[in-house]
Each structure stands twice: as structure tokens, then as C-alpha cells.
Structure 1
Amino acid sequence: MNRVVVTGLGAITPLGNDVETYWGNLKEGKHGIAPITKFDASQTGVTLAAEVKAFDPSLTMDRKEYKRMALFSQYAIAATAEALSSAGLSDLSQQTNVDRVGVMISSGIGGLDDMEAGIIKMHEKGAKRVPPLFVPLTIGNMASGNVAIKYGAKGICLDIVTACASSTNAIGEAYRHIKHGYSDIIIAGGSEGTICEIGIAGFAALTALSTSENPDRASIPFDKERNGFIMGEGAGILILESLEHAQKRGATIYAEVVGYGSNADAYHMTAPTPDGSGAGKAMLLAIEEAGIQPCDIDYVNAHGTSTPTNDSAETTAIKYAFKEHAYKLAISSTKSMTGHLLGGAGAVEAIACVKALQEGILPPTANYQEADALCDLDYIPNKARACDAHYAISNSLGFGGHNAVLCFKKWEIK
């Protein structure tokens, strides 16, 4: 079996369009939530979102390329460019066997903004006026497809769709693919661009979104006053590589992936199992594959969406997995700052785990004020915490009962 390491990171987020800016703002407890500017949201009942700011696709692709891509694919390309550069792999075809370089970049929904625009155009002007690229713009696999085309990766190319667990599943499956020797490198992560009228209206109809008008009290995971999540957007990319391959080329190693757990609640379309067993067992699966005990985990990056049901249920799941050690864990939800990137959430949160282990700093749960009796663990309120953490897990829980958990280990040269 191969050991699998992280050798590159890339991010496009509401907190910044590179990893350094994103991570810096996470450590400062700053959020990227503001009034929606992408469309007139006055009819949705929702006023706030976590939009990507000042994104310029021309920095990583030419106009002809990005005009043929939906926003989520553009985000994926840009984040991949940074990740490959940080991995020292900017010219894959000259540096490795591209037949053994895969791409697993997930999107929960795909090009929803272009889907909305195409359907409106058909309704208003007729079926013959549907844009010629409607399908390749909107289908969710095109983030992976476009990245493979752009960078010449000719190995496995997948889009794993498990709602809000999508990119965590993508990273986990990429880890397994390298662990068992099928690939040397996989560009893994997720991307989403769903801040559009149908995206906001659809989740609002589920009463899943926060209706707060105060950006500082909108995404407040584990807080008693939480009332829904804030839609975010962007992309997170990790370069996963076999340790042997990474060491042969002298790569910088950020962290090691040591475990992955994935299962199903088999309970309800949107609600988690009340006893926490579904997500709890997924955490235990990841810990078991890592070859450690629950008490060895130092930090949990929680799914922590800021919905009443999720946060209390995830707290129950953490207690299911960790028993008494749950009260000794440091836990935070970085969605308090990024909002919820849906299919891209797990990837940007995995980056937060990697950086936390690398720097010995745990990001906070921002804007936390009111304790909830149903959420009684240590959520690192408001201020980042110095901690020489050795193991971290990242939880992602998707509609349909999809649970996915990654376990990362601090990289230490021995």
C-alpha cells in the first residue's frame, strides 16, 4: 500500500482567491458574508451570501477558454493552477507520466447559473434559442473534464456527486486510488457556483437558508440563535500524491492523508439520524483506517452548517464516535466565515485542516455568542487557537444521508 501525501493546495473562496489569503482570514476569524450582488434577491426572502470577490478568470485562462465554461469550472481551473504551482507541477507532461495523473473534482450541482439562464431563454424565446453549449456548460463533471483538458491529466477523471459531501468523497476516493497503486497523482477537490436566483430560492423553499440581514449574525454554527446556512461559492483543490513519487521529485509535503470513512444514514432525504450513528460511524471508519484511536484526534473541522438540525445532530454524532473524548476535542466550523460551498465545502475545509496541522493553529468558529444546551462541546469560539495538533478530521454530511470524513496527519520528517 502507498502512503498518500498532500503536495499542493489551491483555493478560490469568499475569503480570498488564493490559499494564503483564505487561510490568513480564517485565522483572523474574518467572514466573507455580505449582501447578494449577483442578482436581485428581493423576492427570495434571503439577503446575504458569501460571494467570491474580484475573481479574474483571465489570470489562468484565455478569453476563448473561460467563455466556454460555467463559473464553477472557471473556479476549478483557477484553484488547480495555484495547487499545481505550489506542488511544483506546472508542466505535468514534462514532469511525470500523465497517464497516471487523475482528476477528481466534484460539484454538487454544476452550472446552475447557466442552467437557469438557458431555461429562461427557452421559455422566453423558444427551444431553438437554447445556447449551443448549454449541456457542456452545465453538467457537473465539466470541472474535472476542463481541468484534465487544460493540464493534460490523462488518468482517471471523475465527478462524485453526494450533495454537500461531494468534494470530501472526491478527496477520499482519490486517496484510496493512490493508496492502492492505480495513480501517482490526483488533482482532487470540489467547486461550486450556485449563487443565482434558483439556487437561493430553491434552498430558501426548504427553509434551509438564514434570513438574517446582519452579516455578523448570519452564519453562526453551534450558536443557539442559528437559523439556517449562508450560501457560499468557490473551489478548493488538493494535489494528492504517493509518498514515493513525491519524495523522488523532492516535493514539499504539507500533510499526509491517513484515513477516509464514507457511509449512508439510510434515514431521510434531508435529516440526519437522530442518534448520530451515521456520521459517527463514518468518523470511526476514517480513524480506523488511519490506524489510530479516537483519543488521538486533536481537531475536528465540523460540517457545522448553522442550521438548527445539523449542528445539534453533528454534536450528537461526535459524541457517538468519541464518547468522553468528545469533550476534549477542539472543534470548529469554518462555514462561519466561508458560508456553505455545497459540493466545494469539503475541499476548502480539507485545506483548513492541512494548514492547521502545518502551522499549529486551529481556526475558530466566528461570531459565536449564545451557547446552546444541545451543542455543548468546545467549538473554538471566535479566536484561533495555538495547538500542536497531530491528527485532524474533516466532516461533510450531504442531503440524502451521505456522510464523508477525512483524516489528516501532520507531516513530520523522521
Structure 2
Amino acid sequence: MKGQNQSMITEFILVGFSNLGDLQILLFLIFLLVYLTTLMANATIMAVIRLDRTLHTPMYFFLFVLSCSETCYTLVIVPKMLTNLLSTSQAISFSGCAAQLYFFVGFACTNCFLIAVMGYDRYVAICNPLNYTLVVSRATCLRLVLASGFCGFASLDTLSSSPGLSLNDVPSMERGNETLVREFIFLGFSSLAGLQRLLFVAFLPLYLFTLGTNAIIISTIVLDRALHTPMYFFLAVLSCSETCYTFVIVPKMLVDLLAQKKTISFLGCAIQMFTFLFLGCSHSFLLAAMGYDRYVAICNPLRYTELMGPKVCVGLVAAACACGFTIAQIITSMVFHLPFRSSNQLHHFFCDIAPVLTVASHHTYLSQIVIIMLCALVLVIPLFLILVSYIHIISAILQFPSTLGRYKAFSTCASHL
């Protein structure tokens, strides 16, 4: 067979919404609202089933797994779609496309088999009620779910044998010789050249003090069993999150204060932005979770241990991290899908959103507005939830008959405030 030199495709360009022009922003807002509603609905279903022991039956177990599978299914497709609606570069790598295809088909097939399993469960419950607990036992339910997942994903093995695409198999694409930005230069302290050593000496003790304080808080909560309560659990997670947040920014800033070359790679900048957005957004939602904890403790004290059990606390932390991860993923993808071909000088000391957008070769003001809206929502939604919680808390405290009781109730909110 005669050999040919062919160039292999390394990425695909998604043009699904390219003909909609200015409607893409409207579609982004609509799909984002629907996506967040879907996430919250599935999270609510799973939380209710998990917390209500009367729902610990095979039917609701299958519904729980189906909601979890649907959540994973949407995570595979929707965040990337939302990013592409606002991005000028709507590309996906070859391996990324293969992974997306594998997971969305796998979860879709799994959902189909799960629905069939749920039909079998209803058949046994209605047609053979006396033997229902025996036929659809806990072990049987687990086997049926595992079988559904196996059938859903095992059927995709043929994808791995598909040959790679070459450029001769698809229409040619326009290419240009363009120099891409591969690193950024920080100019945040360039105007303070003579003071940089002094700034280093000032910031280093503050950083070490912050690390030491958070380490003391975390170790005290872990070691003292009297502090093993939901309130201090959230405080420990918050301190851990704050420690990680400072790790992302401050060490690099301190090094740059003493370095001649203040640079960061393109990938490093993207990782820094994603990580600090993820931790910052999670931090905001954690504060909202702490407000809810104080609301339950003061307004519903008799059911506090039931409503704020260990699983609920872990679930709230996981939900806060999931919200932070989703928002960070969308914003970071939107920013770093922009073309960077002109300047690589950031007038900042870390990869914040605004300075990175400033050096992009091309971006729309609409994308900036959407990013600003997402950042505003991260602040407004937790703040709103905290205000609602404290309105109820203050109303409940004012009804206490004794001044001492009011003081004690307010003092329990000190760590949160």
C-alpha cells in the first residue's frame, strides 16, 4: 500500500451556534438559568431522599441514582456549551472530544437502563407485593445499578478502535501564522522598584501570621472534641479554604517582589485564575452555609442535631465546592479561550480576571458583562441568604425573655460574623 504523509486533526471547532450572532448572549442566560435549576432540582431530590428515612426504599434509591447520573450527564456537556456561547474560540481538543463523547453516551445509556430497572421495580411492587422486599432487596438494587452502569459504559468499547481523522478527510480550514502569548509578565509592583524589598518584609510576616492563625484554628477544632459541632466544622473548612486561597497568590507574589523576571506561563496563569476563583466562590457559599447553620441552631434548636447532622454538613460543603467549581470553570474557560497575540504585560501581581481580559487581542463587552454578572451573583446570592438567615435569627432572639439568653444567642454567631 502506498504511504501518504497526512496531518492528524488535534482539535475540533464547534459551530453549533455560530449563525445566531447576537442571540448567543440571550441563549447563554437562558441555558445558564435552566442549568442551575436542573442542578438545584437534582441536588434537592438527592438531599431529600438521603435525609428522609421514610424514602429509603428501592424506588427512591433508583431515583437518587438517576438524579446523580443526570447531574453528571449535564456536567459533561452544558458548561462547555455555555463557555462556547461567549467565546470567540469554540474549539475542543481531540482527546477532549473523545472523553466528552464517551461520558455523555455512557451516562445516557446508563439512564436508559436505570429507567428500565425502575419499571421492573414497579412491576414487582404491584404484581408481587408479598415478595417485594425479598425480590428487590438492597443487594439486588445495588446489582441492578451496577449492571446498568456496566451496560452503559461497556457498550462504548468500540469507540477506542475508531481510526484518527486526517486533514484530508475534512474541508480545509483557514490558518494564519500568528504568534501566541505563552507567558505573562506581572507589572503590579513595577512602579515601586525601590520599595519592593520593604514590601516583601511587610507582606511575609502578614502571610506567616495568616497561615499560623488558620493552622491554630484548624488544629484546635480537630483536637478538641467539644468543638466537634457543625458550626466549628464549617469554621475549620473555611480556614482550610482561606489557607489554600493564600497559597495560590501570595507565595508567587513574594517571589516576584525579589525576582528580576516576574513571569508566569500561560497554563500557570489559567490554573491560578481557576483555583482562586474556585476557592473564592466556594468561600462565599460556605459563609451562606454557616448562616443557615446559625439559623437552625437558634430558630429550631430542638431539631438542630437532626437537621444539621454530619451528612448534611458534608453535603453543604460539597454543594458549596460544586457551585464554586462550576462558576470557576465557566469564567476561566471564557477568559482563556480568547486570543492573546499582542501584549503579555499584566498590570497586576496575579492573574485576576480584569487585567487578563485587558491584554486579550479581541473580546466583546457582552462577555465582560456576563463575567461581571456571574461574579456579582457569587456575592449577591450568599449575601442574600445570610441576610435572610439573620433576619429570622434576630426576630427569634428578640422574643427571648431574658437579656442573658439574648446575649448567649448572639454570641454563638460571633465566629460567623
Q: TM-score, normalised by structure 2?
A: 0.28
Higher strand share: 1
Higher helix share: 2
Q: Which has the higher contact order (CA 8 A, sep 6+)?
A: 1
Q: Decide which structure has the larger Cα Rg and report it.
A: 2
